[in-house]
């Protein structure tokens, strides 16, 4: 599944403009504790969280993730979007809960 397909599936908006939305999503994870995410983050991962600050991008970059999806209507600040674009990590926003997004991804075969 690509980031674009993930956005379509979950009704999410891709807020980064310059990051390749055709990059593959290889696996998924949902958690709001950064140390847990750091310990389990993997290359190509789609991470669903309500943490939309600069450190979420730092964690995603260090783990070579594909994208971060902010759940529950949480919005990324412009500075955070800019940082993610510089680092090549896609950011998505959705009104769905992390539970719903994870369920949709799991059902579509993203494990």
- Which residue ranges make up the site for another protein (CB under 8 A)? 32-39, 43, 49, 51, 53-59, 61-64, 87
Q: Which burial class, exposed, middle or buried, applies to 109 when counting CB atoms under 10 A from its CB (0-12, 13-18, 19+)?
A: exposed
Report the residue number, 11 or 54, with the smaller CB distance to another protein. Answer: 54
Nearest in space to 92 (alpha carbons), one of 110, 108, 68: 68
Structure tokens at 17: 């403009």
- From the CB of 6, what's the least distance to another protein, in Å? 22
Tell me how far, at minimum, the Cβ of 4 lies from another protein, in Å: 26
Closest C-alpha among 110, 94, 93 to residue 102: 110
Minimum distance from CB of 5 to another protein (Å)? 26
Q: Which is nearer to another protein, 8 or 32 (CB)?
A: 32
Pick 7 or 70: Cβ nearer another protein: 70
**Cβ 9 to another protein, closest distance in Å?**
25
Strand order in the sheet with 27-30: 13-14, 90-93, 67-70, 45-49, 27-30
| Tokens 């494990």 sit on residue | 111
């Amino acid at each position: 599944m690509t980031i674009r397909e993930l956005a379509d599936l979950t009704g999410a908006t891709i807020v980064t403009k310059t990051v390749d939305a055709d990059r593959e999503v290889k696996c998924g994870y949902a958690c709001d504790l950064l140390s847990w995410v750091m310990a389990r983050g993997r290359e190509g991962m789609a991470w669903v969280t309500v943490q939309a600050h600069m450190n979420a991008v730092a964690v995603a970059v260090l783990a070579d993730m594909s994208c971060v999806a902010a759940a529950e209507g949480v919005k990324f600040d412009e500075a955070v979007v800019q940082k993610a674009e510089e680092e090549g990590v896609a950011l998505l926003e959705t009104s769905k809960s992390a539970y719903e997004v994870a369920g949709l991804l799991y059902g579509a075969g993203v494990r």
